[in-house]
Amino acid sequence: MILWNLETGEPIRRFQGHKGAVLSAAFTPDGLHAVSVSMDATARLWDLDGAGEIRRLSVPGFDQMEGLAISPDGHTVLAGVSTSTGDRSAMILWDLDTYAEIRRYEGHTGAIRDLSVSPDGKQVLTVSSDDSIRLWDLESGVELRRHAFTEPISVAFTPDGRSALVESFMGSVFLVDVETGELLHRYGPGGAGLYIENTFSEGHTVLTVVNGSDLSLWDIDTEQGIGILTGHKSITHAVAVSADSRLALSGGTDPYMILWDLETCSEIRRLLMPTSAVVKSLAFSPDGGLALSGQSDGVVILWDVATGELLARYDGHYGEIAQVRFSPGGKTFFSTALDGTLREWTLPPRSAEDWLNWSLANRYVRELVSAERQFYRLSGSESRSNRDRTTGKLP
């Protein structure tokens, strides 16, 4: 993992460890640590202030790890582990304070593809290559429900916790009753074999990709379509919704991304891509003022949402970007990639005042050399005193 200065694009600190593709990562709620999971069958806890890898979590007998969730209090983490043959899997709950395994959830006969913790933090849903969805009691580890589902690849609880969105490998998205397994609604059809990102808006609507390129906004309560967002000509691979649920950003193989107004289901503007690389992941900053795009060429781009301006481009990864995410405070973000790295970046100041404060705080005042002290008739102590008075201050 590498810590970057977003203004200069230069690495500040480097964190290394994973030997396989990093599939997912998440910040702890306090923003001080991050957890990543990789195809090298490890989860790693990182100190973002410079200590690097704090702990490596693994499970003997398993050689792959997918799915990640950190508890709201930041004290526990869930991840799915499986064998490379996919014939055995489990979900593991670890204590991030003691690094001990708290509980193991076993039952799936195929690899766990994704998991989702219920809004009340008491239950967890898993989807697996064994063509099933399973509901677990987080406290006891007991399997509560098991529902058949063909080729599920991702899952997310709805905000009320009574249903979940499940995406199939063939591109369709289904609303499923958690208790009964009943398929309440199908949002689609989608594009065959596409990974479609589903994003909730205000807890009552969901945005999905349909027909490979268009976006469809649905009301979860009424199961009715609200509107179709049409504008992409080619495949849409990534979608993000702002925290206030008013904006959406989509991108894929087109030479542009589209910023949408979700209240009117209309296009606001197009953000022109600087290269032909495919957009694989998108994210809004917590305040909605910035956006990130992660690309197939390993590049991450920072955008100004209000103007559509490309603010910065960050090279460093050597593989396709799998995920981009802002930290809870919005001051840093991380990117994970198929090159096996997770990198954290610091954001530049946003306002003129912030820029001034940042430049003062980071201003470097060197010591005067001997000839300069003589020229200005300063003693060594006077030079040091002058530096103390001016460090971080304009002359």
* HSE-up (13 A, CA, CB side) for residue 9: 11
User: Do 326 and 360 lie in a common domain?
Assistant: no
Local structure of residue 141 (DSSP, 8 states): -
Q: Is the overall model pTM greater than 0.85, yes or no?
A: no
Is the pLDDT score of 147 beyond 70?
yes
More confident residue, 59 or 269: 269
Rounded Cα gap, residues 19 and 22, in angstroms? 9
pLDDT at residue 379, as a whole number: 56
Average pLDDT, the chain: 79
Secondary structure of 269-284 in HEC code, one letter for each residue:
EEEECCCCCCEEEEEE
Task: Label residue 267 by pLDDT band (50, 70, 90).
Answer: very high
User: Do 71 and 36 lie in a common domain?
Assistant: yes
User: Do 249 and 276 lie in a common domain?
Assistant: yes
390 phi, psi to nearest 5 deg: -105, -10
What region does 29 belong to: left with phi over 0, alpha with psi -120 to 50, or beta? alpha
Amino acid at site 75: H
User: Do 276 and 388 lie in a common domain?
Assistant: no
119 phi, psi to nearest 5 deg: -55, -30
Beta bridge partners of 251: 238
Going from the C-alpha of 164 to that of each of 108, 127, 154, 188, the distances in angstroms are: 19, 11, 10, 16
pLDDT at residue 125, as a whole number: 94
User: Do 280 and 374 lie in a common domain?
Assistant: no
Show the domain range for 362.
Answer: 351-395
Contact call for residues 123 and 117 (beta carbons, < 8 A): yes
Is the pLDDT score of 282 beyond 80?
yes
Amino acid at site 93: L
Rounded Cα gap, residues 292 and 301, in angstroms? 6
Contact call for residues 104 and 90 (beta carbons, < 8 A): yes
299 phi, psi to nearest 5 deg: -100, 145
Rounded Cα gap, residues 349 and 344, in angstroms? 16
Task: Label residue 384 by pLDDT band (50, 70, 90).
Answer: very low
For 116-142, how does the pLDDT look when each residue is reduced to its tens digit (9 = 90+)? 988 888 999 999 999 999 999 999 999
Rounded Cα gap, residues 259 and 269, in angstroms? 5
Q: Cα–Cα–Cα angle for 155, 21, 91, nearest 5°?
A: 40
Cis amide bond preceding 189, omega within 30: yes
User: Do 138 and 189 lie in a common domain?
Assistant: yes
More confident residue, 389 or 34: 34
Contact call for residues 317 and 339 (beta carbons, < 8 A): yes
- H/E stretch holding 296: none
User: Do 236 and 373 lie in a common domain?
Assistant: no
Local structure of residue 61 (DSSP, 8 states): T
Is the pLDDT score of 249 beyond 50?
yes
Q: Which residues contact 395 (CB under 8 A, 6 or more apart)?
A: none
Closest alpha carbon to 35 in 77, 6, 4: 77
Rounded Cα gap, residues 79 and 296, in angstroms? 25
The residue among 333, 350, 367 that closes a domain is: 350
User: Do 359 and 262 lie in a common domain?
Assistant: no
Is the pLDDT score of 313 beyond 50?
yes
Is the pLDDT score of 101 beyond 80?
yes
pLDDT at residue 382, as a whole number: 46
Give the CATH number of the domain where residue 330 resides.
Answer: 2.130.10.10
Going from the C-alpha of 339 to that of each of 265, 319, 322, the distances in angstroms are: 37, 5, 10
Rounded Cα gap, residues 237 and 219, in angstroms? 22
User: Do 75 and 130 lie in a common domain?
Assistant: yes
Q: Give how many domains the chain has, as a whole number.
A: 2
User: Do 214 and 355 lie in a common domain?
Assistant: no
Contact call for residues 259 and 271 (beta carbons, < 8 A): yes
User: Do 373 and 332 lie in a common domain?
Assistant: no
For 326-381, how does the pLDDT look when each residue is reduced to its tens digit (9 = 90+)? 887 777 888 888 877 777 777 766 666 665 564 555 444 445 566 666 666 655 54
User: Do 79 and 186 lie in a common domain?
Assistant: yes
